[in-house]
Amino acid sequence: ESSQVSGMSRIRCILRGLDVKTYIFLFAFVPMCIFGIYIHGQKISYFLRPLWEKPPKPFNVIPHYYNDNVTMENLCRLHGWGVREYPRRVYDAVLFSNEIEILTLRWQELYPYITEFVLLESNSTFTGLPKPLVFSGNRDQFKFVEPRLTYGTIGGRFKKGE
């Protein structure tokens, strides 16, 4: 019993030093603050964001010099560049399924600008179902790109682990 009495007297001693305002603070105000931070935490972090975030570095402004009467060599020299000895190679790579009309439009529009057309076709859908090779059956429609065309097929997986 003496240990219980001494334990109770310790609690009374601790509680004697606390008044009603402290209880209100501990059991009402502190939980409300924690709840408020939980609810409005994102707004608080946005408000304090300028304290840790630095502004982005400025862009390097490249002035644009152009005139119809100035040669390409002079325009490139104004920018500190040189004219290429040969044009840049541009590739158009397509993963093909069955959209013949869209592919025809795409290649007709891009033909003057593309160096090489690359097309890859599979004999299965993305879900693993078999499908016919549509492009190889309609290749005669694309005679206009034949000299620049690289065509390839890839076998699909029809069984797990295949």
Render 47-85 in DSSP notation, one character per residue: HHHHHHPPPPPPP--------TTS-HHHHHHHHT----S
Burial 37-54 (b: 16+ CB within 10 A, else e): eeeeeeeeeeeeeeeeee
Write out the chain's pLDDT in tens, 162 residues.
555 556 667 666 666 666 777 777 778 888 898 998 899 888 888 888 888 888 888 988 888 877 889 888 888 888 888 888 888 899 999 888 888 999 999 999 999 999 999 999 888 888 888 888 889 889 899 999 999 999 998 887 666 655
Residue type, 51: L
Q: What is the reported pLDDT for 159?
A: 63
Q: What is the reported pLDDT for 147?
A: 94
Please tell me the distance from the alpha carbon of residue 162 to that of residue 159, in angstroms, as a whole number. Answer: 5
Q: What is the reported pLDDT for 148?
A: 94
Domain ranges of the chain: 2-52, 87-154
What is residue 147's three-state secondary structure?
Answer: helix
